[in-house]
Amino acid sequence: RPCSRGAMANEARHPQEFINASVALKVLKALRAGRVRRPDLVVAHGAPFLEGRHASSVGAAERYAIIEEVFVAALDRGEAELARRCLATLNARFPGSKRVRSLAAMADEAAGNFEAAMGKYDSIIEEDPANMHVHKRRVALLLSKGDTAGAVAALNDYLALNAGDPDAWLELARIYTAGAQYRRAAFCWEELLLLVPSNPVFLCKYAETLYTLGGPEVKTARKYFAKALALQPDNLRALYGLHAVRARRAGGKEGRRRSLVMRPRGAMAFFRAQCCQAVVGSAARTKGQRTDRDDAALCADLSEHAVARLRAAYKGNDFNARLLERMLEL
Partner 1 sequence: RTRRGRAMATISSDAFVNMMLHSCKHPHRSVNGVLLGSVSEDGGVEVSEAVPLFHGILGLAPMMEVALNQVEGYCASVNSAVVGYYCANERRADTELTHLARKVGERIHARVPSALLIVLEASPASTASSSLPLKAFSLSGSVWQQRDPSSVKVDDEAGARAALEACLTAAAQYELCDFDDHLDDGARVWIGQKPAQLSGRSS
Least distance CB 232 / partner 1 (angstroms): 11
**Smaller CB distance to partner 1: residue 210 or 278?**
210
Q: What is the spatial distance between Cα 37 and Cα 42, in angstroms, rounded to a whole number?
A: 9
Residues with Cβ within 8 Å of 290's Cβ and at least 6 positions away in sequence, in order, are 298
Q: What is the spatial distance between Cα 28 and Cα 41, in angstroms, rounded to a whole number?
A: 8
- CA distances 202 to 120, 170, 280, 313, Å, are 34, 9, 11, 21
Q: Find, among 212, 141, 218, 134, the residue nearest to 179 by Cα.
A: 212
Q: What is the spatial distance between Cα 155 and Cα 94, in angstroms, rounded to a whole number?
A: 29
**Smaller CB distance to partner 1: residue 10 or 123?**
10
**Smaller CB distance to partner 1: residue 124 or 242?**
242
Give one DSSP letter per residue of 112-173, joined into a string: T-HHHHHHHHHHHHHH-TT-HHHHHHHHHHHHHHT-HHHHHHHHHHHHHH-TT-HHHHHHHH
**Smaller CB distance to partner 1: residue 64 or 71?**
71
Q: What is the spatial distance between Cα 250 and Cα 303, in angstroms, rounded to a whole number?
A: 12
Least distance CB 57 / partner 1 (angstroms): 25
Q: What is the spatial distance between Cα 75 and Cα 236, in angstroms, rounded to a whole number?
A: 35
**Smaller CB distance to partner 1: residue 35 or 265?**
35
Which residues lie near partner 1 (CB under 8 A)? 1, 3-13, 37-38, 40, 76, 78, 143-144, 146, 174, 177-178, 180, 205, 207-209, 211-212, 214, 221, 234, 236-237, 240-241, 243-245, 313-314, 317, 319-320, 322-324, 326-327, 329-330
Least distance CB 45 / partner 1 (angstroms): 13
**Smaller CB distance to partner 1: residue 58 or 328?**
328
Residues with Cβ within 8 Å of 310's Cβ and at least 6 positions away in sequence, in order, are 236, 239, 240, 243, 324
Least distance CB 300 / partner 1 (angstroms): 17
Q: What is the spatial distance between Cα 230 and Cα 251, in angstroms, rounded to a whole number?
A: 26
Least distance CB 246 / partner 1 (angstroms): 11
Q: Find, among 185, 234, 233, the residue nearest to 210 by Cα.
A: 185
**Smaller CB distance to partner 1: residue 277 or 317?**
317
Q: What is the spatial distance between Cα 162 and Cα 156, in angstroms, rounded to a whole number?
A: 10
Least distance CB 101 / partner 1 (angstroms): 23
Least distance CB 303 / partner 1 (angstroms): 13
**Smaller CB distance to partner 1: residue 89 or 241?**
241
* CA 29 to chain CA mean position, Å: 19
Least distance CB 42 / partner 1 (angstroms): 13
